[in-house]
Structure 1
Amino acid sequence: MAQPSRAARLAPVVEMAEEAERTAAQRLGHFQQQVNLAQSKLVELDQFRSDYQQQWIDKGGQGVSGNWLMGYQRFLNQLETAVGQQRQSLNWHQTNLNNARGTWQQAYARVEGLRKLVQRYMDEARQLEDKREQKLLDELSQRLPRHDRY
């Protein structure tokens, strides 16, 4: 019974590496979605804060009560806190994304390295087979009776 080739013996390792790369790519996609979501929430909060500040410009010129001003200031502080928290959330998600990108890049490089190794093994096996066939053909041609015509 013939032994499996070096390339065939590597097949399970390549499959495991490909699965790890697929998983890393999925995680990368998940974290990219989280970053996109956090960015859009931050944009919404910034826009809401900007709109709310516009109220001060609009109403401030008309004169406002002390209660309105205190309520405005309190809510604006809450908005500033929310914006700061959302920025932290975005930074956290971006860190996760960067880590996931690094993990995926390593997994991808491993898969590519294994694929190149398998290809090299296959090329070497093909070259050895070609040499073996050529040697066999050379031996056969030497065994054939020669009919030299003059």
Structure 2
Amino acid sequence: MAQSRAARLAPVVDMAERAEREAALQLGHHQGLVGQAEGKLGELERFRGDYQQQWINEGQRGVSGEWLINYQRFLSQLEVAIGQQRRTLAWHRGNLEKARAQWQQQYARLEGLRKLVQRYRDEARIAEDKREQKLLDELAQRLPPRY
């Protein structure tokens, strides 16, 4: 009877395995998006650093007012882009944490089901061992005594 309980749970375990795999794929997808967003932010920050270094180099030689205005305007736009990219990164990190929590939940459910199935199998094995032992004991009692 316990073995049939384990067999009846097989479709539930299969569904839990599919849900865990899907959650793992989503987790990987969101990890990739975070990586991309971090890469873009890094590029923007490096570009800003390079651009600021250009200001230092040009400033030593002297610059026109027009060049300075264009520099400040572009640097301002770059700061806006960096701010937007930071918000995008934070949003992707939030989604990653949600995906991680979902995967952990699916994984814990799957592991719980696997343990339950194993317990049912163990119970079935123990019950079968007891039946066999009882049968052997009965057979041993029927045998004539040996002298």
Give the TM-score normalised by structure 1. 0.95
Gapped regions of structure 2 (runs ≥ 5): none
Contact 2:34 2:93 in 1 (8 A): yes
The answer for the alignment partner of 2:26 in structure 1 is: 27
Provide closer, same or farther for how the CA distance between residues 3 and 56 of structure 1 changes in structure 2, counting only shifts above 3 A: closer
Name the counterpart of 1:55. Answer: 54
Question: Greater relative contact order (Cα 8 A, min sep 6): structure 1 or 2?
Answer: 2
Tell me by how many angstroms 1:55 deviates.
Answer: 1.0
1:86 CA displacement: 0.5
User: 2 CA distance for matches of 1:3 and 1:56?
Assistant: 77
- Say if 1:63 and 1:3 are closer, same or farther in 2 by CA, change over 3 A: closer
Q: 2:93 matched to 1:84? A: no
- Preserved CA contact (<8 Å) 2:3 2:120: no
- Report how far residue 45 of structure 1 moved: 0.3
Query: Aligned runs of 1:95-114 on 2, under 5 Å?
Result: 95-114=94-113
Mapped to 1, the partners of 2:47 and 2:55 lie a distance apart of 13
Kindly report the root-mean-square deviation, in angstroms, between the aligned alpha carbons of the 2 structures.
1.3
Aligned structure 1 segments of 4 or more residues deviating by more than 3 angstroms: none
> As a proportion of its length, which structure holds more helix?
2
CA distance, structure 1, for counterparts of residue 105 and residue 83 of structure 2: 33
CA distances 1:61-96 after superposition (whole Å, capped 9, x unpaired): 111111101100000000000000000010000000
